[in-house]
Amino acid sequence: MKYIQFPDTLEVIDHHGFSECRELLNLDFPDSLKSIGNYAFYNCWALEQVHLTAHIRSIGFGAFKNCEKLSEIVQDKIEGLDISIGSILDDLNQQIHVIVRHLYPDKPVEEARVIFTEHDYEVVANVASMCKQFESTEIGSGKYIRYCIGIQDVDYNKYDGMFYVLLRGDSFDTIITVAMERLMYPYALTLEGEHTYKDYIAEHALEAAKKFIQEDDKDKLTFLVDLGVLDSDETDQAIDLALSLDKTEFTAFLMDYKHRNFSMADESFDL
């Protein structure tokens, strides 16, 4: 069973209700759902994406434990009916992309996108000890990033303040995605956080542009270009990459950016 069609009137998923459904790929719950029981989706090893609707009031212990491929959680939130996803993240060591959609009756949805990085423990023998002892070593920044989960929502100010932790050892792909998505979806983003992310992107503009070209991510490339962080030489290198990969749309977009922003300056310099 790869997909489940839940009835529109479903309010409760029982304890162990769908545990061991090892081919289940994603979950899209109905708006009527209010409670997910203990171990409801335990050992759903193939599960990749979960959409938590806004009226869910409780998520049981170990509800998504051992869902090793779960990589994205989408959560709808209504003010006054908030529930934390901390209990889910506590059970998962892998990197999780979280999309929080704040819903309002009288204005458009405000979206936030954050990444909770991977963390794990490595147990090693203490060879200097006279007796056999073992020590656990923490791997990854995810433990610290998970401290940013509050009772009702992500503490975005704390999350942005932890960016330096990512810089110590997480991959460029993760770091640039965090920086870009906090700027693209700036829910509760402070001016200080905005400057921190922009400074990082400016320092890695060409590397970021190449990544977005290779991944066919037009939205992020467009946003990067609009930030104005690519200089003329970097733009030329990005164009060369797009040409070599036969990505016509990206090539045309970057050439237009080059023409609008650097052509006159280059001509003046040559003279």
SS (H, E, C) the chain: CCCCCCCCCCCEECCCCCCCCCCCCEEECCCCCCEECCCCCCCCCCCCEEEECCCCCEECCCCCCCCCCCCEEEEEEECCCCCCCHHHHHCCCCCEEEEEEEECCCCCCEEEEEEECCCEEEEEECCCCCCCCEEEEEECCHHHHHHHECCCCECHHHHHHCHHHHHCCCCHHHHHHHHHHHHHCECCCCHHHHHHHHHHHHHCHHHHHHHHHHCCCHHHHHHHHHCCCCCHHHHHHHHHHHHHCCCHHHHHHHHHHHHHHCHHHHHHHHC
Average pLDDT over residues 125-149: 71
Kindly report, residue by residue over 47-92, the tens digit of the pLDDT: 999 999 999 999 999 999 999 999 999 999 998 777 889 889 999 9
* Residue 125 pLDDT > 90: no
Q: What is the pLDDT of residue 80?
A: 76
Kindly report, residue by residue over 216-239, the tens digit of the pLDDT: 999 999 999 999 999 999 999 999
Q: What is the pLDDT of residue 153?
A: 87
Give CA torsion, residues 190, 192, 198, 202, to 10 deg: 180
Question: What rounded mean pLDDT belongs to the chain?
Answer: 91
Whether the predicted model's global pTM rises above the 0.85 cut: yes
Contact 209, 253 (CB under 8 A): no
Distance CA 144, CA 159 (A): 10
Kindly report, residue by residue over 17-44, the tens digit of the pLDDT: 999 999 999 999 999 999 999 999 999 9
Q: What is the pLDDT of residue 268?
A: 45
Give which of 158, 242, 148 is closest to 193, Cα–Cα.
Answer: 158
Q: What is the pLDDT of residue 81?
A: 75
* Residue 266 pLDDT > 60: no
Q: What is the pLDDT of residue 119?
A: 80
Contacts 24+ apart (CB under 8 A), 16-24: 16/40, 16/42, 17/41, 18/44, 19/43, 19/44, 20/44, 22/46
Percent of the chain predicted with pLDDT > 70: 89
* Residue 164 pLDDT > 50: yes
**Chain position carrying tokens 């991510």:** 217
Q: What is the pLDDT of residue 267?
A: 47
